[in-house]
Structure 1
Amino acid sequence: MQVKTITLLLSLLFVVFFAACNGGDKNATPDIPLTGNPTIDKLSGEIARDANNPGLYAQRASVFYENEGYDEAIADMNKALALDSANIGFHHLLADIYLDYYKSKKALETMENVAAMYPDSILTLLKLSEFYHILTMHEESMRTIDQILQRDPQNAEAFFMFGVNFKELGDRNRAINSFQKAVNYDPDLIDGWVNLGQLYAEIDPERAAQYFDTALDIDPADPLIIHAKADFLRDQDNLLEAIDLYKSIGLIDQQYEEAYFNAGLLYMELDSLEAAKGMFDLTIGVDPVHYKAFFFRGMALEKMGDIEQAKKNYVQSLTFKPDYQLAIDRLKGLQPEQ
């Protein structure tokens, strides 16, 4: 599961709300040329007509961000903030862009600055605690959570963030206690139930299954929850049930290649070679550079007696990851002895 609990959507909601309330009277910097992206180009046209509207820059930054145009997104967010530096959502969005652009120092500075500007913003403090956690600054993350709970003693997301910190630190008991409080205060907090299931998997599998099922009752079509339950079943050696769940993800999201891949691995364990190959075919269809899928498809083909096709798959695997030792060894083993 994704650790992030303060999502881009919330940041964008802040962007839209505050932008609607703020105009601005500063001159815009020269704008970008046409890109071929209709959404970006439409926003560029609106900016040309209303160059002092910070919300337009933020909206265009969001589209650049979604398309991994990080430099352009940062430039647009700087324009938006020059026009409206008080907009919390603008700061949040800029921090997200920096973080995904591997500029963690700038991301953290951005969040720390906006937290200093708005010390009572629960959303900002939650996001800051999340950033600290992502950067493995657990003490700082938990100190920020304490600040949240001083303001809102029953904040479920705060207890959730306590849980993920304790879980990563290996303190299972305190992690369980934190996640339990989180779902007590917010019974619809799906990630809380999933984490409880994962933590109980080794000590009480029956209870763990109940927690995964609770999460699925809340959202039965969430691929990440289904994947988590399938992983649990796999680890409990319920391979056929796990396969069924992995395959069911493909009915919801046909681009979810890891579900196909995991099903393929389990079919290999069951020596169902044709079925395994079919799953690896689907994986590669979604992700044509999935070097592990090529390798394991090669293994399936080798066991089925198709040595030449097996070799081709091992070679393809090494094309995408030349140092993949499993493929190197398997291919070497198929070479004729000198």
Structure 2
Amino acid sequence: MKIFIVSEKNYEIKQVRDFLGRLPFGDFGKGNTLDFYQEENPKTALEKLEKNAADGIGYDLIIVSQKMKALPGIRFARSVTARKTIASAPVMLVVDNLNKELVTEAMGAGVSGFFTMPFVMDEMRTALMRLATILLSRARKKISDAMEQAKATSAKTANPEILEQIHRKGTDVIERCAMYAPWSEEVHTALAAMHIEHGDFAFAIPKLKLAIKINPNNRDTHRQLLACYKKNGQAMEESATLKKLLATNPSSPDLLTKLGDSILHEGNYKEAALYFKKAIANHKPGDPARLKAKSHVGLGKAFMAEGDELSDPAKHEMAKNEFAAAATTDPTLVSAYLNLIASYKKLGLQAEAKAAAAKAAAIAPDNAEGWLDLFSHYLGEGEVQKAKFSLQRAIQYDPENQITLVRAGQMYFLNRMFGEAAGLFEKAAEVNPSDTRTFNFLGICYRRMEMFEQAVANFKKAINLDPEDYNLYFNLGRACQQANDTAKAREAYATALKLNADFEEAKEALASLSPAVPAGAEKAATAG
């Protein structure tokens, strides 16, 4: 963080530097370093700030003393606020004491916080937390207003690409808030909430961990972190916890089965199989049938994964036997039949698969909508494999139902599973090649997977269906820009602006491109 300190008293500048340098910025990341700049003449300081801003040099925080003869701190702050080039940096005022009148006047001049002399470490730490909270509140308001504006001004459904840009800019702003007080739990949970709302669970995890580091007793934060790991498909820390629990009760079939499930979810089917086998070996006659059946299902899944990887029918046969054992042990366990169906099909046993499906139908949803609801539930719970099985069943009931395909594709999209989403949107486009939204979502999915050629092709298909939708041209421009096709990107953004002259995001995107090369200039440059 770049800090500019202004005071006519050198010892005051030194004290500010010393106290700030002793605060625990570095405890929350190696990048949290402090760079100090100082000036004893307030008028010269203003000139430096303006000159540096013109040269592209900015500061993250301005600290100014109130007791300056040449230009008191509040007047200095008012001068900073009046200059748009340097007004972005928050100003904190150093005072001997605070009173209501001083605070009111200072806040009106643009001051965002106060340091009181003589300095006390905890008070300085708290003052920076208050600053971060104030900046966070402003950022949230701007994000909320931008979201409402995007939804209110859109002729159709709010453009996901616009909402993504608002989210990205918002997280950047909140990330800056954390810079001022990285020990603030509130800032990190706010960042995590932004990421969770957008489905970026992987980005939310480190923010939640920092919040827990600051306040390990916040149960809500712990629950959010656990949910993020599940939704992100990461069970490593969960398996580590289960191993610790298992050490206290190594013969527990319940813990052994849960640990096997966790490890299997991580992709290690061989290690998972060992725990499932131990669970089965440790089951007692009086144990619940459901628990016994789940252990067999888990072992069957491990064998299926190994069979798929090795293309080994023998492993698929072993998996089938475990699923059959699960169904026999607990005839009401739906997952036993669903997995048994899959194993039968792997082995080419279509009649047996049909028979198993008949049994499953008796205890499971009997229509596409019911299975799709189950898919949504499992995906929301982070049980991705169960979600995929549910979706397969939904599509099996009605492979031509576009509503099923698009709804499921959108659920995958919201969970940032873009490959799976694209697969469903492709099927939906085959069913109904006249829906603009399907091609738009396809383009967005492929762009986020950095498959730019496919993204451009699908945005063009959407534009062909609705050439008046400026959002589609903006999305096309983004794909072209990321593919380094600047000319096509410029053309797309320009078309978006022709259709909507107030399209601010398109204006910004167009301005971000390098200037167009004048006709003939490129040849001349090459010839030279």
Q: TM-score, normalised by structure 1?
A: 0.47
Q: Which has the higher strand share?
A: 2
RCO higher in structure (CA 8 A, sep ≥6): 1
What is the TM-score when the length of structure 2 is the normalising length? 0.32
